[in-house]
Structure 1
Amino acid sequence: MGVIRVGVIGLTALESSTLGPRTWAVVSFLPSFVNSPDYEIVAVCNSTVASSLQAIETHKLPKTTKAYGNPSDLANDPNVDLVVVSVRVTKHLMLAEPALLAKKQVFVEWPLGASTTEAERLAELARTRNLKTIVGVQARADPLIVKAKQLVDSGALGTITSSSVFGSTSAVPSDVWFKGSEFYLDMKTGANLFHVYFGHFLDSFIHVLGGFDSLQSSLQTEIAEIVIPAEDGVQEHTAQKNVPDHVLVQGKLKSGAMASIAYRWANLNEAVDDVGVRWIITGRNGEIEITTDQSHWQMNSPNRKLRLKLKGAPTKEIDFSSPEPDFIKHIPQIGKNTGRILEAYARGNQADYADFESALETHKLLDEIVQKSGFKY
């Protein structure tokens, strides 16, 4: 595969090195594409041509970079190979559909759609046109998850008998929220604590261990009101939240192993021992334990650990680092896994990234968890 020519939808003119509203494309995609020898940004598409031109100027992209204000115009650009959609999930279908109809390769951030119905539509468009696709569940390419999957698949643990997960919401605020991002407090948007925050972990879980054969679930909303701080002359006010911050799932995996996942509400950065997720996978010959600090699962926490305990041997910490291309070093910490899934895509290593079909399975599982719990919103 030669250099992949990219058209980005959602690259704002903001300059940022940290996560915030409308900055994801800036801190993850932009440094990945600029530094990778496999990609070249050739077009930017925002809500207006003017805003696209501003983004091109702000980020010092080549003057030859095309500016578009309509996704159909971008889709019909013959010089674009891959269209990247990095905007709020409620617009994923509208913005990705023209590219699929134009038979482009398409990258859509997670969640794939605002609902499973939308995800099915996008997956069908790609399937019937035999198109290459990628979805931004970045943890699949995290060296930690790659190593954990290798240990499970190699049989080092023997037959997997069970897996237990203890996670918390302590990486996100629980008493205040960001003005302009109130959509994250609503289950109906498909972009919220359950579908995004929990969904990223769930994708890794089934990627490593396989899906559920049967399950039971329970969901509960502990914090139903969140303060939106005063900003730009708008007074402080409270917003309603109908998204569960307690998620309990237990059942049997397709492999026959028993599984339980418990995500609990916790104050920001106040989980005990600074552990955001503790994930144990048990086999007949031993088990592994994965721990992360209080950060977003998919964002390459520098403090994550993998420990292995085999029969007759002491517990040891496993080095899961591996050789990587130099361009990964130039990506901010929170965006490194985006660079890694793009590297896997460029190399045709589908084991380390999700396509529309596998993302659709995660959508369906999230729906089943909600349905089995009887959660109403």
Structure 2
Amino acid sequence: MTIGVGIIGASVGGWAAISHVPALKALPDYELRAISTSRRASADLAAKEFDVPAAFDDPAGLIAHPGVDLVVVSVKVPHHHALISAALAAGKMVYSEWPLGAGTDEAADLAARAEAAGVRTVIGLQGGFLPVIRHTRDLVADGYVGRVLGTTLVGSGMSWSPVTDRAHAYLYDAANGVTLLTVSALHALEAVNEVLGELAGVSANLVTSFTQAQVADEGSTIPVTVADQVSLTGAFRSGAALSLYYRGGFSRGDNFRWEINGTDGDLVLTAPGVNGNLQTLDLRLQGGRGDDRALADIALPGSRFDPVPRDLPAMAQGVAQVYARFGRDLREGTHTVPGFDHALRRHRFVDAVERASRTGTAQTLPPA
């Protein structure tokens, strides 16, 4: 059965255009049947660009479209609650970008609405589905590094520097729920959890190092209420140690580096450039063990990508892997793709991190 998809927030050049659209077009289980943007002109342009039969400048029309089985919500987080609520009320499956809501209360309400509606949901935490991450997970499970002692991940968020533009100014207001912690750090941690399991506890230091940011294209300033430096430490349920640090902006050095160190070996994932957002990266995997004196590249077998084309760009690869597995879940009645219940657990983890930073006290985390 072909799954009909409608994307809310599908403007040409936006995130959905460079990730969801190519992902869907690469998979035979799906058909992109409708798009919605905030303006008629941009909706018509996107429909023409993506060869989509139905275009709307009001998301209500997309949600009501009889050919849309799955509504994808790819807009700013403050709009998630209303749009997802409407889609669930219409009995549609929903794929929401992460974060699910602008805080845990909204996430809890949406998770409850989804359960009441009895429909399948997907949360866009695709980092754990990247082929290189799944390969790393299996290497660790197969004993490549021996017993895992600890892991260190350092990355850059690109945004959250002292200078921004009007299009990204909303990222600096904590009320909108889109922060260095909730976006860059949590996307990375999702992949870390996929490879090494869940954390038993966490300590944190969230630092807001400047109180105002310049809006360069307007020549104005805005207040900053989010942390631009995120530092987490903790221990996994296995006993291994975690150190994760994300900076706002970027570094002249490495903008993404993740090491996994064990009794018998090491695995290292890196990426070039200024982008440190794991879920969008074309990661290089290297390893060394035993008598090895240096790291060597580890190639991924082609089967790691099936059924997604290997040449799909990195920004679309993880999203496509989520879609592929969700399609299989629907066919086989399985639940391998995280939905809104998983998103709610991650929102509660964010709360624990913020509490740890505010109180200076390590937080014990409940089992997943």
Compute the TM-score of the two structures, normalised by the length of structure 2: 0.85
- Residues in 2 aligned to 1:47 and 1:100: alpha-carbon distance in whole angstroms: 21
Which residue of the other structure, out of 139, 147, 152, is the alignment partner of 2:135?
147
- Residues in 2 aligned to 1:127 and 1:157: alpha-carbon distance in whole angstroms: 40
1:341 alignment partner in structure 2: 322
Which residue of the other structure, out of 186, 193, 196, is the alignment partner of 1:206?
193
- Superposed CA RMSD: 2.8
Q: 1:189 to 1:53 in 2, by over 3 A?
A: closer
1:177 alignment partner in structure 2: 164
Identity of aligned residues (%): 27
1:251 alignment partner in structure 2: 234
2:146 alignment partner in structure 1: 158
Q: 1:328 to 1:185 in 2, by over 3 A?
A: farther
- Residues in 2 aligned to 1:32 and 1:55: alpha-carbon distance in whole angstroms: 19
**In the TM superposition, what is the alpha-carbon distance from 1:321 to its structure 2 partner?**
5.0
- Residues in 2 aligned to 1:236 and 1:136: alpha-carbon distance in whole angstroms: 34
Q: 1:78 to 1:187 in 2, by over 3 A?
A: same
- Residues in 2 aligned to 1:66 and 1:154: alpha-carbon distance in whole angstroms: 48
**In the TM superposition, what is the alpha-carbon distance from 1:56 to its structure 2 partner?**
5.0
**In the TM superposition, what is the alpha-carbon distance from 1:86 to its structure 2 partner?**
0.5
- Residues in 2 aligned to 1:263 and 1:35: alpha-carbon distance in whole angstroms: 33
Cα deviation digits, residues 159-195 of structure 1 (max 9, x gap) = 32322222334x3372421213311011221012221
Which residue of the other structure, out of 307, 318, 325, is the alignment partner of 2:298?
318
1:19 alignment partner in structure 2: none
**In the TM superposition, what is the alpha-carbon distance from 1:145 to its structure 2 partner?**
1.0
- Residues in 1 aligned to 2:339 and 2:189: alpha-carbon distance in whole angstroms: 15
**In the TM superposition, what is the alpha-carbon distance from 1:154 to its structure 2 partner?**
2.9
Which residue of the other structure, out of 185, 190, 214, is the alignment partner of 2:177?
190
1:7 alignment partner in structure 2: 6
Q: How does 1:22-37 map to 2 (within 5 A)?
A: 23-37=14-28
Asked if the contact 1:306/1:317 (under 8 Å) is kept, the reply is yes
1:241 alignment partner in structure 2: 224
2:32 alignment partner in structure 1: 41
Compute the TM-score of the two structures, normalised by the length of structure 1: 0.83
2:364 alignment partner in structure 1: none
Q: How does 1:57-76 map to 2 (within 5 A)?
A: 57-59=47-49, 61-63=51-53, 65=54, 67=56, 69-71=58-60, 73-76=61-64
Q: 1:251 to 1:7 in 2, by over 3 A?
A: same
Asked if the contact 1:29/1:339 (under 8 Å) is kept, the reply is yes
Asked if the contact 1:4/1:82 (under 8 Å) is kept, the reply is yes
Letter in 2 for 1:5: G
Asked if the contact 1:220/1:244 (under 8 Å) is kept, the reply is yes
Letter in 1 for 2:226: V
Q: Which runs of 5+ in 2 are unaligned?
A: 361-368
- Residues in 2 aligned to 1:33 and 1:224: alpha-carbon distance in whole angstroms: 41
Q: How does 1:49-60 map to 2 (within 5 A)?
A: 50=40, 53-55=43-45, 57-59=47-49
Question: Is 366-375 or 345-354 further displaced after alignment?
Answer: 345-354
- Residues in 2 aligned to 1:251 and 1:53: alpha-carbon distance in whole angstroms: 46
Asked if the contact 2:36/2:62 (under 8 Å) is kept, the reply is yes
Is 2:208 aligned against 1:218? no
Asked if the contact 1:31/1:330 (under 8 Å) is kept, the reply is no
Asked if the contact 2:261/2:267 (under 8 Å) is kept, the reply is yes
- Residues in 1 aligned to 2:307 and 2:151: alpha-carbon distance in whole angstroms: 35
Which residue of the other structure, out of 94, 99, 112, is the alignment partner of 1:106?
94
**In the TM superposition, what is the alpha-carbon distance from 1:341 to its structure 2 partner?**
2.0
Question: Is 202-211 or 325-334 further displaced after alignment?
Answer: 325-334
Is 2:292 aligned against 1:308? no
Q: 1:248 to 1:30 in 2, by over 3 A?
A: same
2:342 alignment partner in structure 1: 358
- Residues in 1 aligned to 2:246 and 2:84: alpha-carbon distance in whole angstroms: 32
**In the TM superposition, what is the alpha-carbon distance from 1:44 to its structure 2 partner?**
2.4
Letter in 1 for 2:138: Q
Asked if the contact 1:33/1:39 (under 8 Å) is kept, the reply is yes
**In the TM superposition, what is the alpha-carbon distance from 1:298 to its structure 2 partner?**
3.6
- Residues in 1 aligned to 2:141 and 2:59: alpha-carbon distance in whole angstroms: 44
- Residues in 2 aligned to 1:130 and 1:114: alpha-carbon distance in whole angstroms: 23
1:20 alignment partner in structure 2: none
Q: 1:361 to 1:209 in 2, by over 3 A?
A: farther
Asked if the contact 2:179/2:227 (under 8 Å) is kept, the reply is no
- Residues in 2 aligned to 1:9 and 1:193: alpha-carbon distance in whole angstroms: 24
Asked if the contact 1:43/1:68 (under 8 Å) is kept, the reply is no
- Residues in 2 aligned to 1:330 and 1:255: alpha-carbon distance in whole angstroms: 35
Q: How does 1:357-376 map to 2 (within 5 A)?
A: 357-374=341-358
- Residues in 1 aligned to 2:342 and 2:262: alpha-carbon distance in whole angstroms: 25
Q: 1:60 to 1:361 in 2, by over 3 A?
A: closer
Which residue of the other structure, out of 251, 265, 275, is the alignment partner of 1:295?
275
